[in-house]
Amino acid sequence: MVVGAGVVGVTSAYYLAKAGHQVTVVEKEGEAATLASAGNAGLIAPGHSFAWASPSAPKELLRSLTVDDTALRVNPFKAPGMAVWGLRFLRECNAERALKNTLVKLRLAQYSQRMLDQIASDERIDYDDIHAGILYLYRDPKRFEAGIKKMKLVQDHGQKQDVLDAEGVAEAEPFLAPVKHKLAGAIYGVTDSSGDSVKFTRKLQAACERMGSKFVFGRGVVKLDARGGKVRAATLDGGDALDADVFVLSAGVHSPRIARTVGVRLPIAPAKGYSATFPIRRNGGPEMRVGAVDEELLVAWCRIGDRLRMTSSAEFTGYETSYKEHDLRLIRKLATDLLPNAAEYDQGQYRACNRPMTPDGPPILGQAGPENLYINSGHGHMGFTMACGSSRIVADLIDGRKPEIPAEGLTLTSRP
Ligand SMILES: Cc1cc2nc3c(=O)[nH]c(=O)nc-3n(C[C@H](O)[C@H](O)[C@H](O)COP(=O)(O)OP(=O)(O)OC[C@H]3O[C@@H](n4cnc5c(N)ncnc54)[C@H](O)[C@@H]3O)c2cc1C
């Protein structure tokens, strides 16, 4: 049984079904990919694997208590239960841990991108994917210089990253040519890509169903029932129970609550982000192709078919997913500054959703607590990028196969 049908749950189901298992996916919502997997920026970005817990993060979070312009924010009144998670996050905020955590994420992200490409090719899934790299844009020359230094780490570990001046940015993405004077330059993640995670997830659901997997929608798992060191069944919100031989927990930010019912503590906290989708404006000029991140506003965007998706902010404010016009200010600023003619901005669709963040950054994969309980949760800001690789690793662990990349730093027991 797989709990949760976001991109992580459905990719888990896929690899398990492929290995010959009879899979049932239980999903609280009415269809697959409706929470974090529906609101993301669509970037497949191993080049952006840097751990959020870094030496500069505490200062940024402290600043967010007094000023309004930071992308990373915490509200201690709205997120009072986060003390333990917060302390673990702070423990990771030194150069040595940040380096280690970044490399664990990078290795998984690189592997996962290969797995994603393979699934898309094997199952013939078109998910509005664009394989044209991602631009990490800088406006301020000093920050650009610092970004280039920081980028060397992922470059030294196999990511092809080019440094572009403003002219180079305009060449890589002619759509940005009219605003090149506002840019110091960019780091161009040449092999990064983008696509629609909802389309991908739902088409993969269909592939799972073709292999005989069952999807139970509109039923939430309330608790797991364990006896004799094994999970025997999952109790659903109607009161009935479903049994299975193996349980995979991939309920995103809600995994910790379910895991606690069998005594397993998962350090995963919600980091709220805002997501906007606009119809692309067609004006006869060059078409936007290359996804990007504004490294100063920390707004990310990409083209998804005939829509422009933009996302911003990471706020530790509890589980709620409300938003106000003011919360969209960074997206509005980016749209006005760099993409004024890209989309029909008066026809936006908006949402807020929660990234399932671990304090150190890498997701939690593998067995935990009862011998037949496996976790595949906590993919944070990179769950689309890391889903396929994570799910392949979890399926390998379930079947007793050695994963193709080391699981060190990904399982609960191999973390400090
Ligand atoms: C604003 C924003 C931008 C992002 N941008 C990117 C990006 O550009 N690239 C990238 O790689 N990643 C990005 N991410 C991260 C990525 O979207 C997430 O890491 C990923 O979607 C997590 O997938 P998931 O399946 O674990 O969680 P979810 O998509 O949240 O799915 C969890 C599922 O579990 C279900 N569930 C919960 N509780 C229960 C229960 N009790 N019983 C049954 N089902 C349950 C939920 O209904 C849900 O469908 C972004 C995230 C946000 C919020």
H-only helix segments in 41-82? 57-63
Confidence class of residue 84 from pLDDT cuts 50, 70 and 90? confident
As for how many domains the chain has, the answer is 1
| Residue-level pLDDT at 60 | 79
- Measured from the Cβ of residue 59, the count of other Cβ atoms closer than 10 Å reads 11
| Residue-level pLDDT at 68 | 67
Q: Tell me how far apart the terminal alpha carbons of the chain are, to the nearest angstrom.
A: 29
Ligand 1 atom with the shortest distance to the CA of 355: 53
Instruction: Tell me the mean pLDDT in the region 364-392.
Output: 98
pLDDT per residue as tens digits for the range 15-43: 999 999 999 999 999 999 999 999 999 99
- Measured from the Cβ of residue 272, the count of other Cβ atoms closer than 10 Å reads 25
Determine, yes or no, domain membership for 45.
Answer: yes
Taking 80 as the threshold, does the pLDDT of residue 75 lie above it?
no
Instruction: Tell me the mean pLDDT in the region 167-181.
Output: 97
Burial 233-249 (b: 16+ CB within 10 A, else e): bbbbeeeeeeebebbbb
92, 361 in Cβ contact below 8 A?
yes
Ligand 1 atom with the shortest distance to the CA of 222: 41
Determine, yes or no, domain membership for 53.
Answer: yes
Determine, yes or no, domain membership for 239.
Answer: no
User: Phi and psi (nearest 5°) for 256?
Assistant: -60, -40
Tokens 């659901």 found at: 205
Ligand 1 atom with the shortest distance to the CA of 386: 11
| Residue-level pLDDT at 71 | 67
Determine, yes or no, domain membership for 286.
Answer: yes
- Measured from the Cβ of residue 119, the count of other Cβ atoms closer than 10 Å reads 22
Kindly report the CATH number assigned to the domain that includes residue 292: 3.30.9.10
Ligand 1 atom with the shortest distance to the CA of 273: 1
Token representation of residue 386: 């890391």
CA of 9 to the centre of ligand 1 (A): 9
Determine what percent of the chain is predicted with pLDDT higher than 90.
89
| Residue-level pLDDT at 54 | 93
Question: What is the CB < 6 Å shell around ligand 1?
Answer: 3-9, 26-29, 34-37, 39-43, 45, 220-221, 250-252, 254, 258, 273, 275, 300, 311, 353, 355-356, 377, 379-385
Determine, yes or no, domain membership for 246.
Answer: no
The H or E element containing residue 316 is strand 307-316
Taking 80 as the threshold, does the pLDDT of residue 50 lie above it?
yes
Which range marks the domain in which residue 280 is found? 37-81+130-194+274-357
Confidence class of residue 182 from pLDDT cuts 50, 70 and 90? very high
Taking 80 as the threshold, does the pLDDT of residue 165 lie above it?
yes
| Residue-level pLDDT at 80 | 62
Determine, yes or no, domain membership for 329.
Answer: yes
Determine what percent of the chain is predicted with pLDDT higher than 70.
97
Determine, yes or no, domain membership for 5.
Answer: no
Which residue among 355, 357, 394 has the greatest number of ligand 1 atoms within 8 angstroms of its CB, and so is best to mutate? 355
CA of 27 to the centre of ligand 1 (A): 12
Determine, yes or no, domain membership for 285.
Answer: yes
